[in-house]
């Protein structure tokens, strides 16, 4: 069977609109790790501030890692965290004015935020063999996508 690569979708004729997408995801941690994040006792520094900056950078760089994603003018990125006893939930909302949606940017931002949280606390999460038996990134998904004429 022969396959044909089509490349990026042509959005030339699509109208310019305000587009927003919100994605969420969770990193599962030990209770003691979540407490260390909350009290600011992580060796690598302020976990959630670092994850916030990483998410914003990831949103802006999405077309570099998702090849068929169009470069878009990102007009807003809002990153929020909900620190719970054994998890951190990350929410990333992205807004753009353009011809294509922003859900891939929101998903990328959430993914990178959660990866950065894991990276910053991995020394607290490892077991005696150096593995992560309870740590998991879960439930990354788009929870809202909107577009409106401008």
Instruction: Tell me the percentage of the chain whose pLDDT exceeds 70.
Output: 99
Q: 10 in a domain, yes or no?
A: no
Give residue-wise pLDDT tens across range 70-95: 999 999 999 999 999 999 999 999 99
Q: 128 to each of 16, 117, 131, how far by Cα in Å?
A: 54, 21, 7
Q: 136 in a domain, yes or no?
A: yes
Q: Does the pLDDT value for residue 52 go beyond 70?
A: yes
Task: Name the active-site residue from 46, 82, 119, 127.
Answer: 119
Write down the residue that tokens 């600011």 correspond to: 40
Three-state secondary structure string covering 110-121:
HHHHHHHHHHHH
Give residue-wise pLDDT tens across range 101-144: 899 999 999 999 999 999 999 999 999 999 999 999 999 999 99
Q: How many domains does the chain have?
A: 1
Write the CATH number for 90: 3.30.70.640
Q: 2 in a domain, yes or no?
A: no
What CA–CA distance (Å, rounded) separates 49 from 47?
6
Q: 8 in a domain, yes or no?
A: no
Active-site annotation holds for 82: no
Q: 50 in a domain, yes or no?
A: yes
What CA–CA distance (Å, rounded) separates 34 from 79?
18
Mean pLDDT of 42-55: 97
Q: 105 in a domain, yes or no?
A: yes
* Its pTM surpasses 0.95: no
Q: 4 in a domain, yes or no?
A: no
Burial 8-46 (b: 16+ CB within 10 A, else e): eeeeeeeeebebbbbbbbbbbbbeebbebbeeeebeeee
pLDDT of the residue at 5: 66
Note down the domain range covering 129: 17-149
């Amino acid at each position: 069977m022969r396959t044909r690569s089509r490349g990026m979708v042509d959005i030339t004729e699509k109208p310019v609109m305000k587009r927003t997408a919100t994605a969420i995801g969770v990193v599962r941690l030990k209770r003691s790790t979540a407490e260390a994040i909350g009290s600011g006792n992580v060796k690598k520094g302020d976990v959630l501030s670092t994850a916030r900056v990483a998410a914003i950078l990831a949103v802006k760089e999405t077309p570099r890692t998702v090849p068929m994603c169009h470069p878009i003018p990102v007009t807003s990125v809002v990153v929020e965290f909900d620190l719970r006893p054994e998890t951190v939930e990350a929410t990333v909302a992205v807004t753009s004015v353009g011809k294509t949606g922003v859900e891939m940017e929101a998903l990328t931002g959430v993914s990178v935020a959660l990866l950065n949280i894991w990276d910053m606390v991995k020394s607290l999460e490892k077991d005696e063999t150096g593995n992560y038996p309870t740590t998991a990134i879960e439930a990354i998904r788009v929870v809202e996508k909107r577009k409106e004429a401008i």
